[in-house]
Amino acid sequence: MAEKRLTRVTSFDVAEAAGVSQSTVSRALAGDPSISAPTRQRVMEAARKLNYQVDENAARLRRGKTGTLAVVMVCRPGQDRKDLNPFYYALLGSTCAAAAARGFEVLVAFQDSPENFWGHYQERRKADGMIVIGTSENTAAWDYFGALPQGSHWVCWGATQDDFPWVRSDNHAGATLATRHMLVRGYRHIVCLGSETSPQRQFKERYDGYAAAMESAGLEPVLQRIERGLPREEQGRRAAVALIESGRPFDAIFGVSDEIALGALKELAGRGLVVPDQIGIVGFDGVRAGAWSTPPLTTVESDFEVAGSLLVDRLLAMISGETATARRVPVRLVVRGSTRP
Amino acid sequence: MAEKRLTRVTSFDVAEAAGVSQSTVSRALAGDPSISAPTRQRVMEAARKLNYQVDENAARLRRGKTGTLAVVMVCRPGQDRKDLNPFYYALLGSTCAAAAARGFEVLVAFQDSPENFWGHYQERRKADGMIVIGTSENTAAWDYFGALPQGSHWVCWGATQDDFPWVRSDNHAGATLATRHMLVRGYRHIVCLGSETSPQRQFKERYDGYAAAMESAGLEPVLQRIERGLPREEQGRRAAVALIESGRPFDAIFGVSDEIALGALKELAGRGLVVPDQIGIVGFDGVRAGAWSTPPLTTVESDFEVAGSLLVDRLLAMISGETATARRVPVRLVVRGSTRP
DNA sequence: TTGTAGGCGTTATCAA
DNA sequence: TTGATAACGCCTACAA
């Protein structure tokens, strides 16, 4: 075999080597059925020998399609990349996997503030469409993406706006699952640490799911509000403090996110309250960190693989003009140690 | 302002609207200084009004450069994306940030086994070069990337091969830092949970750093080997069991990765040993999970921002034929609760 | 300072 | 079944 080198080889070179025309090379390699088997053989052989690879830029220019999807990760302004919620990284990973499985390349960009908001992938022919993943806290980002020109192909995870092309976890079902689990395990005075007014749409949905489960058990739902603008862990910790100081009796906590639940867990443990014996705790997100707490956190986890697939499929449907289907990602309960047996 | 829509607008359209030639448009928008101010004004105005954006495929085809870097994330075969070590996600994030800061787009692909190994970004003109990030465990992947044609521009994080164009944490310094910290805090019988033969080159480097610090303190380094092929946490747990059962006295553990240290921490706690009072523990990686353990894990953290920058700068230097400089990423000690004050 | 023209390497149309 | 040929939209000599 010839030594592999990186000199530019065009389809003309392959054509010459195979003794056919350039267009035949293009067709043979593209799998055009009109090319005869022996010709295809010769072309493939020549291409292999010359180490030929299609110039994607030329191909895309000609085709008018890029075969690429853009994924924009919306972060908090100035936030360190290593502090990004692992949930979003998992979502990024599964989205890339789904795109790759469908034959698309993925362009990734982290964006956090107006200076670097940028969504013109489609106009610049860098991608056929865009997936925006991020926290609803960054309202400036959602305003920006919501104002993209008509005809932009995009879907999102995390926006507050209900008229955006969103995909979300089945928050209601997940919260109900969590609450029922605690009821079954004998907890009665279950308090929800969260918010019904947060821009985080899913927090409201999770509260509603919790409330529904409580009510259908004949119990009164109780919401302990988190303060805005703090790190999640701190929100959870403070809400736990406020709850304790309120004097309201409780024997279980449903945190609308894992980090809120973990913050509360830490606070309770620090005060000598025994989890799960005295107090049960359940979170929502299924991030890895929960597995390391003491006790490990019982939580509701989204099916990440499905999440990535739904985002990609919805986007591809939009691109091809079809009508998309599901937009809710199924969830499951992950029972660990923060609720009693 | 005209309603924004997504119909294709070419530089010819802008030229017509501005009453100049197409090449003038190209130059004006590229910031060519030969274009007069008034002309540039008119062109910019027309471009804005028509919502014109350059077709990057055409531009790249013409230029022969892509302005894009590819990042390949090497995972364990079949591993779920959400189970990928958060360390690598943080590295991915900071690499994307560094690339963006230098004006490059980033193409991301997760690859785990021979069926989907693919590194011909450069030949296909999808990218100007490639950054491969991954665990050294996946030797098949490193064999694949090591066999890329001459002239491929790439750098990597995580490979075993020393002749690869690698960038790494300053493992030796970090391990020394960790060990000295424990010595200063009064621990004497410090055992290293790790391996000097693992394909993970950094494990060996970390052991060496630990051993050097021990020896220069007049103490004997002790290595408790981890078993191969298990999840890191389990490796840590089992090594702790083996250490205890060996009967060898110890009052501190240096785990060559956070997850190994966390596994050991869990095992010790389960046996009623008090961390940090009876036993001190330090890990290596600085992942978020360590902050949630009880007690939170003292660890050595790489400067992720520098890591991303070094990877990108080294690759860009290679592309432009310059000689690259640093390849070691500085580390710092993050003191949390698993070592006594 | 600006315009003309050629070509980057494909894919796709139209003949043969 | 294959070959000529015309775009795709831009950048960049070269000329004016």
CATH number of the domain enclosing B102:
3.40.50
> The domain spanning residue B289 has which CATH number?
3.40.50.2300
* C-beta of residue A56 within 8 angstroms of C-beta of residue B126: yes
The 10s digit of each residue's pLDDT in B296-305 is 999 999 999 9
| Shared-domain flag, residues A154 and A219 | no
CA A339 to chain centre: 27
What residues of chain B, 207 to 236, have a C-beta less than 8 Å from chain A? none
Strand partners, B222: B191
Interface residue of B118, B123, B293 to substitute, partner A, most A CBs within 10 Å:
B123
Of B103, B138, B165, which residue constitutes the final position of a domain?
B165
Q: Cα separation of B299 and B290, whole Å? A: 8
Angle at which helix A56-63 crosses helix B56-63, to 10 degrees, equals 140
| Shared-domain flag, residues B76 and B128 | yes
pLDDT number for residue A6: 58
Residues 40-69 of A with CB under 7 A from strand C: 52, 54-55, 58-59, 61-63
| Shared-domain flag, residues A281 and A213 | yes
| HSE (side-chain half, CA atoms, 13 Å) at A39 | 19
The reply to whether A60 falls in a domain is no
Per the structure block, which two tokens stand in for B197?
């033969």
pLDDT number for residue B104: 97
| Shared-domain flag, residues B174 and B142 | no
What residues of chain B, 42 to 81, have a C-beta less than 8 Å from chain A? 51, 53-58, 60-61, 66, 68, 71, 73, 80-81
Residues 44-73 of B with CB under 7 A from strand D: 52, 54-55, 58-59, 61-63
| Shared-domain flag, residues A224 and A261 | yes
Q: Do you find a cis peptide bond into B77, omega within 30 degrees of 0?
A: no
The number of distinct structural domains making up chain B is 3
Whether the beta carbon of A23 falls within 7 A of nucleic chain C: the reply is yes
Residues near B13 by Cβ (< 8 Å), separated by ≥ 6? Answer: B50, B52
| Shared-domain flag, residues B134 and B87 | yes
What Å value separates CA A66 and C1' C13?
21
Q: Provide block-wise average pLDDT over 10 residues at a time, chain B (341 residues).
A: 60 95 96 94 95 96 96 93 89 97 97 95 96 92 94 93 94 98 98 88 94 97 93 94 96 96 95 95 88 92 96 95 89 96 93
Q: Which chain B residue shows the shortest CA-CA distance from A68?
A: B107
The two counts, helices (H) then strands (E), for chain B are 11, 12
Among candidates A243, A248, A245, which has minimal Cα distance to A260? A243
What residues of chain B, 253 to 292, have a C-beta less than 8 Å from chain A? 262, 269, 286, 288-292
The 10s digit of each residue's pLDDT in B112-137 is 999 999 999 999 999 999 999 998 88
Q: Does B115 touch chain A (CB under 8 A)?
A: no
Instruction: List, as own/partner pairs, every contact residues A270-278 make where C-beta atoms lie below 8 angstroms and the sequence separation is at least 24, other chains included.
Output: A271/A244, A275/A338, A276/A337, A276/A338, A276/A339, A276/A340, A277/A340, A278/A251
CB contact under 8 A, B82 and A304: yes
Query: Which contiguous run of DSSP H or E holds residue A213?
Result: helix A201-216
Q: Which chain B residue shows the shortest CA-CA distance from A148?
A: B4
Angle at A270 between CA A266 and CA A275, to 5 degrees: 65
Range of the domain at B148: 66-165
Sheet holding B280-282, edge to edge: B222-225, B190-194, B252-255, B280-282
How many Cβ atoms sit within 10 Å of the Cβ of residue A71?
A: 25
Determine if residue A218 is left, alpha or beta; phi over 0 gives left, psi from -120 to 50 gives alpha, anything else beta: left
Of B99, B130, B165, which residue constitutes the final position of a domain?
B165
pLDDT number for residue B6: 58
pLDDT number for residue A214: 98
Q: Which chain B residue shows the shortest CA-CA distance from A116?
A: B100
Three-state DSSP at A130 gives: strand
| Shared-domain flag, residues B160 and B175 | no
Chain A residues with CB under 8 Å of B289 CB are 288-289, 291-292
CB contact under 8 A, B94 and A105: no
Among candidates B7, B263, B282, which has minimal Cα distance to A152? B7
| HSE (side-chain half, CA atoms, 13 Å) at B160 | 16
Spans of chain A, pLDDT less than 70? 1-7
Q: List chain C nucleotides near protein: any atom < 7 Å from a Cβ.
A: 1-13
> The domain spanning residue A42 has which CATH number?
1.10.260.40
| Shared-domain flag, residues B185 and B273 | yes
Interface residue of A57, A88, A126, A260 to substitute, partner B, most B CBs within 10 Å:
A57
Per the structure block, which two tokens stand in for A96?
């890339």
CB contact under 8 A, B82 and A4: no
Q: Which chain A residue shows the shortest CA-CA distance from B233?
A: A292
Distances (CA, A) of B62 to A17, B125, B203: 25, 12, 46
The reply to whether B152 falls in a domain is yes
| Shared-domain flag, residues A218 and A274 | yes
CB contact under 8 A, A110 and B116: no
Q: Does A241 touch chain B (CB under 8 A)?
A: no
The reply to whether A307 falls in a domain is no
CB contact under 8 A, A5 and B149: yes
